[in-house]
Amino acid sequence: MRKETEQKAVALLQKHPCFAAATQEELTRLVRHESTVLREFAKGQTVFPLHTGARAFGLLLSGSCVVKRGGRIKKSLSGGSVFALESLFGAGREQTEVYTAQTDGKALLISKTAAEELMQANFSVTQGFLAFLSAQIDALGGLAAAAEGGSAETKTAAFLLEHKKKDGDAVAVTPDFSKLARQIGVSRDALSRAFDRLTAAGAIGLRDKGLVIKDLDKLKIFLTENEE
């Protein structure tokens, strides 16, 4: 691995809450670990997972990719993103998300073994992982509870938050309005009314024919509007 690539990987990991407590030396050992794989990919190729049977997480050094689950786009990632940390320690779970390149780029794939060695060496890193995963679980639980019942606005808001792209304010949803209504679990008319209300509230809008979240806090208000 070239020195500049190694340094870039360490710098990006230092910005992530899971690795904020790690020293530069510890992160350097992580990216130099014998199990770490530097993956160069072209547009259209699968970035992750690789068919090695080994559990790992990734660091997107350059390029971009879309994340699909069950053939449906869940989100998009750009250079600098750390991905698949949530499933790293999922006992007995298979990798259900597929990362497909939108552009040429590079990704660093770091094994569970390397991550465990770092956590054993630095307990603060373990605490960082636990805090990060707990926050992810809480967020997913809140979205699931909101989507499970309530108004069309509540379900739509939960769906849009779940599909918000990591970088920026865009939302990765199908432009097919009827299909989108089926995915959310509401009628087409109910979805239309929900969009009208969310737009009127200043929570969402359109830009370049794509849906964007204009005000995240206003959108989140709709998640709790039916609570006592």
pTM of the predicted model as reported, rounded to 2 decimal places: 0.61
Over residues 37-87, the pLDDT tens digits come to 999 999 999 999 876 567 899 999 999 999 887 777 778 889 999 998 887
Q: Tell me if 173 sits within 8 A of 164, measured CB to CB.
A: no
Kindly report, as residue ranges, where domains of CATH 2.60.120.10 are found in the chain. 3-134
Tell me which CATH homologous superfamily contains domain 3-134.
Answer: Jelly Rolls (2.60.120.10)
Nearest C-alpha neighbor of 160 from the set 131, 138, 183, 135:
183
Low-confidence ranges of the chain (pLDDT < 70): 51-53, 90-95, 136-150, 224-228
Nearest C-alpha neighbor of 158 from the set 65, 88, 225:
225
User: Please, what CATH class does the domain formed by 149-221 belong to?
Assistant: mainly alpha
